[in-house]
Structure 1
Amino acid sequence: METIDFDRLTLTPGMRVLDVGCGEGRHVHAAALENVAEVVGLDLGRNNLEAAREDYEEYIAPETDVPVTFLSGDALRLPFADGAFDVVCCTEVLEHLPDYESAIDELRRVCAPGGTLAVSVPREGPERVCWALSDEYHAVEGGHVRIFDREELRAAVERRGFRRVDSHFAHALHSPYWWLKCLWWDRDERGEPPLPLRAYDRFLEWDVLESPRPVRLLERALDPALGKSVVYYFELEGQA
């Protein structure tokens, strides 16, 4: 389940792609199936990286010759040279960081002139519902520390020399799931999720595995109103 739409990116054989906060590797895996030179996934969580490597080796490596590297690292101190990557991705990370602007500085530093930055955060409306329903949703260790106004995020990125080239909302069907989860947060944490939450969880798992066309079309239609994430695509001004 990708948040970034790779069809909105122009990927060519010589490009290097970085995913900052790659989690279990969903965007690394997707990028590796494109016609690029190299993909790097970076995350603080070693369990995430191990899961990403295992899935890559089992499902992706047999399908591609693109070199892929997984590294442990901090978004505030990226271990790469200036301008090292043609495409930099950062999805659902900045809302966890107290100093998110320093992270944007680092994303800017490692992005090559003329390169692309794809970044997403939870959308303000659905996120406010989650915060209203459950303090624990955002108060847990490593949880969300802010609700982004999408224009505030856009302005913060554009101040660093980027130009917005595209945007969209994503994951409308996940908004109701998180509202249900927040509503019954205590029961879910005790391992006693009520039937509606269990049923919705099974539905989302089925959707991810099977990707049925009618459900994909339904979510696309609902994304403008209910999309849980807002996704921006920027180009770093300057000659590549």
Structure 2
Amino acid sequence: MTETTSTHERNHVRDAWELIEVMERIGASKSAELFAPRWEASRVKGEEFYAPVASGEWFSTENRDMYESPTNRTRFARTVDFLRPGERIMEIGIGKGFLALMALKAGEIGAYRGIELVPSNVTATNKTLAANGYAERATAEVGNLYDLTREMVAEHKTDLLICCEVLEHVPDPEAALKVLADALPEGTDLLVSVPLRGRLEGIWGHVAQFGVARVREMARSAGLTVHHVEPLANTWVFMLASRSATSERAELVAAATPDVTADLVTPPDWSLSVDNVEPEAMESKWRKNLSSHSVTQAERGVRLSATASAKSDGSHYAGIAFACKDVRGIRLEIDPVDIEQVEAFYADFYAGAERVGRWKWIPSEKRPKQKKPTFMLQPHNVGTYFKRQKVKDLSTADRFELFAQLPHGGKVTIEVPRIGWFR
């Protein structure tokens, strides 16, 4: 595989492979959550795109339910984005011919030829093509992917060769992709799709699994140049490739890609600025079962020193507080002068007597490497050290409390050189 000579294509392809690799590592559920706007935009496009097709007794209810599922509607709609009106298309592995109908109807292609291993699928496809009025410029025939030749593709004057949702069904997808690549005449593009890693692996007909590393190596070994690649519907990887250095079709696809962030609105609990202030401590409510407790001015900021009682029962807490108003969180610098005996730190926001936010840090479990680490406590951040516990509306808070939980006789000394209020 050689890289495209187009800088735009090259950068897009590299970024897309990286995105897909991330999606593989985090899995289907997390990908669904993190990339929800992307999947929703594609789903809506698929729903708006799809129109029912005419069929007969050869097309079962089960078949129709599968092909008309939201994910398949999304796949059909996106595939049509790769087509240009009047083009001649050849498809390998046609199923029941639904994609053929979408290409003819919505893609307005000029001619279609489908090759399928299963005779009953070929019969159903030809009947469906005829029922929808496309028999004169579309046909399907029985054939084997591994028998495909460049002469066959050239004979049809093929502009785009499609092989979607096929390679996972064959025992040697590397060999299959090499056959497809070798069959490409100059100027003919290839569109391939396979399931994302961790998706559709429970389907018994699927005998091959894929990941970024394998698909990239398959394309490289087949001598293909990848012009466009993308994840679709949190289910598939679409790859546009050819034996040429560039492809005009990649620009066509890019132009039809939804802008999923165009209408996003900043969440109300996200801050837009940080107001850095000199720490001015106020009386803390967290002074319990202590033999000593002091809050003093440090060289910079304020200093908390406390010792827990060695005799009293119950928990021991030593804290420091700061007044706040109309905030969305805090940026907090801490100098941990002596925290070896601290069982836990708590960072609380209060609106009057009600706690509206809490983060918790257990120093014995994990500590920053910095001498004076800075912590960012905001509702949308789970936190690395201070872990978010429960957060409501911080904008109602009038006080921030930072306090330590100590064992009997335990000591703590910290300084807070700087604070910044997220607003």
TM interval, short-chain normalised: 0.5 to 0.7
Aligned-residue offset at 1:93: 0.9
Please point out which of 231, 237, 246 is paired with 1:169: 231
Match of 1:29 in 2: 101
How far apart, in 1, do the equivalents of 2:183 and 2:215 lie?
19
Q: Which runs of 5+ in 2 are unaligned?
A: 1-71, 248-423
**Residue in 1 that maps onto 2:217:** 155
Q: 1:5-44 to 2 correspondence within 5 Å?
A: 5-11=78-84, 13=86, 15-33=87-105, 34-44=107-117
How far off is 1:42 after superposition? 0.8
1:176-215 maps to which residues of 2 (within 5 A)? none
Q: Counterpart in 2 of 1:78?
A: 148
Equivalent pair of 1:94/1:103 in contact (CA under 8 Å) = yes
8 A Cα contact 1:32 1:66, kept in partner? no
Taking a change above 3 Å as real, the CA distance of residues 239 and 148 of structure 1, as seen in their structure-2 partners, is closer
User: 1: distance between equivalents of 2:84 and 2:184?
Assistant: 15
* 2:173 corresponding residue in structure 1: 100
Query: Compared with structure 1, are the counterparts of its residues 83 and 47 closer, same or farther at alpha carbon in structure 2 (3 Å cutoff)?
Result: closer
SS at match of 1:51: helix
Residue 50, structure 1, aligned to residue 123, structure 2: yes
Which residue pairs with 2:25 in the alignment? none
Question: Is the alpha carbon distance of 1:58 and 1:110 closer, same or farther for their aligned partners in structure 2, counting shifts above 3 Å?
Answer: same
Structure 2 contact 194–237 (Cα < 8 Å) conserved: yes
Q: CA deviation at 1:59?
A: 2.1
Work out the CA distance in 2 between the residues paired with 1:161 and 1:8: 25
Unaligned segments of structure 1, at least 5 residues: 131-136, 171-222
Provide the C-alpha distance between the structure 2 equivalents of 1:164 and 1:79, rounded to a whole number of angstroms: 21
Number of equivalenced pairs? 170
Corresponding residue for 2:163? 90
2:236 maps to 229
Secondary structure, in 3 states, of the residue corresponding to 2:175? Answer: helix
Deviation at 1:95, TM superposition (A): 1.1
What is the aligned-residue RMSD (CA, Å)?
A: 2.6
| CA offset digits 1:177-203 (Å, max 9, x no partner) | xxxxxxxxxxxxxxxxxxxxxxxxxxx
1:146 aligned counterpart, secondary structure: coil
- The amino acid of 1:52's aligned partner reads T
Give the direction of change, closer, same or farther, for the CA distance of 1:162–1:75 in structure 2 (3 Å limit): same
- Hey, what's the Cα distance between the residues in 1 that align with 2:95 and 2:207? 18
One-letter amino acid of the structure 2 residue matched with residue 110 of structure 1: A
* Structure 1 SS opposite 2:222: coil
| Residues 31 and 66 (structure 1), Cα distance of their counterparts in 2 relative to 1, 3 Å cut | farther
Give 1 or 2: higher helix fraction: 1
Q: TM (normalized to structure 2)?
A: 0.37
Amino acid at match of 2:138: V
| Off by >6 Å, runs of 4+ in structure 1 | none
1:158, 1:127 → 2: CA distance? 25
Partner amino acid, structure 1, of 2:230: H
Residue 110 of structure 1 corresponds to 183
Task: Choose 45-54 or 71-80, whichever is displaced more.
Answer: 71-80
TM-score, normalised with respect to structure 1: 0.61
Equivalent position of 1:69 in the other structure:
139
Cα separation, 1, equivalents of 2:133 and 2:220: 34
Shift, 1:233, TM fit: 1.4
Aligned-pair CA distance for 1:7 = 4.5
Whose Rg is larger? 2
Which residue in 1 is equivalent to 2:390?
Answer: none
Larger RCO, structure (CA 8 Å, separation 6 or more): 1
